[in-house]
Copies of this chain bind each other. A is one copy, B any other.
Amino acid sequence: VPDEVDQNLRSDARDNRDRIVEVARAAFAADGLDVPIREIARRANVGVATVYRRFPTKEALLTAAFADRLAVCLRIVEEGLAATDPGAAFRAVIEQLMAVHAQDRGFARAITSQFPQVYDFTKGRDRTLTGVHDLLRRAQRAGAVRADVRLGDVILALMANEGIRAEPAELRVAASRRFAALILASFRPGPDAVALPPAVRLPLPIRG
């Protein structure tokens, strides 16, 4: 029954692809984005040629590994943009983004890196950051965030969140939740707010 054989082959191929992506995600989280393709092939128990057939470049593999997380981040931002209370929406989005980043350190690293220019990934990141920027401005107009907070401060906070290295992931997520609350407290306006030193423009490839 050739059709069945063909289907099995395709099913095997899909399993291979899924396993490579899963192994890559774990490898990037544990050991950084520099893990070589041959090491990922070794851990996935497939040949290097198999990896290259599915992912012609390291960038393609990185993009595939982080596609789900990126979609989650976009959904978080979209839900925030659809919410009615600008202060609460900004707050919830920052908390949730930091939680996603704390869960997957490889993704967190990719999102704040000079990531190799891959269209889908950088487009997704730009949309996320543009949305966060909108949410920040709305929260500021509503008086829920101090006026001198910049998008660069949010990026700084996301980068800083990445510095939290506790293991296992649950401890890191709990630490990150505490950190998010501190950062959001620092963004609150108040009559006795202290002036901040100059904002810093971090050289991420972002628009807006």
Q: Which of A162, A193, A199 has the most CB of B within 10 A?
A: A162
Report the minimal beta-carbon distance from A157 to chain B, rounded to whole angstroms.
8
Near B by CB (< 8 A), chain A positions 147-169 give: 153, 156-157, 159-166
Say yes or no for A208: interface residue by CB 8 A criterion: no
Chain B neighbourhood of A164, CB < 8 A:
156, 159-160, 163
Given A164-B160, A165-B112, A174 contacting B186 (CB threshold 8 A): no
Please give the distance in Å from A47's CB to the nearest CB on chain B: 28
Q: Does A183 contact B (CB under 8 A)?
A: yes
Cβ contact within 8 Å between A165 and B175: no
> Considering only CB atoms and an 8 Å cut-off, how many residues of chain A contact the other chain?
38
Within 8 Å CB of A174, what residues of B?
A: 197-198, 200
A172 CB to nearest B CB, Å: 9
A58 within 8 Å of B by Cβ?
Answer: no
In the assembled complex, A203 has its CB within 8 A of some CB on chain B: yes
Is the CB–CB distance between A166 and B202 below 8 Å? yes
**A112 vs B156: C-alpha distance when bound (angstroms):** 19
Please determine whether A181 and B194 come into contact, CB atoms closer than 8 angstroms.
Answer: yes
Q: Check if A115 is an interface residue, CB within 8 A of chain B.
A: no
Partner of A160, one of B179, B184, B190, B203: B179
Chain B residues near A163: list those with CB within 8 A: 159-164
User: What 17 new A-B contacts, CB under 8 Å, besides A157-B179, A175-B202, A181-B196?
Assistant: A156-B175, A156-B179, A159-B163, A160-B164, A160-B179, A177-B197, A178-B197, A178-B200, A181-B194, A181-B197, A182-B183, A182-B187, A183-B183, A183-B186, A185-B193, A188-B192, A188-B194
Chain A contact residues, CB within 8 Å of chain B: 112-113, 153, 156-157, 159-166, 171, 174-175, 177-179, 181-188, 190, 192-194, 196-200, 202-203
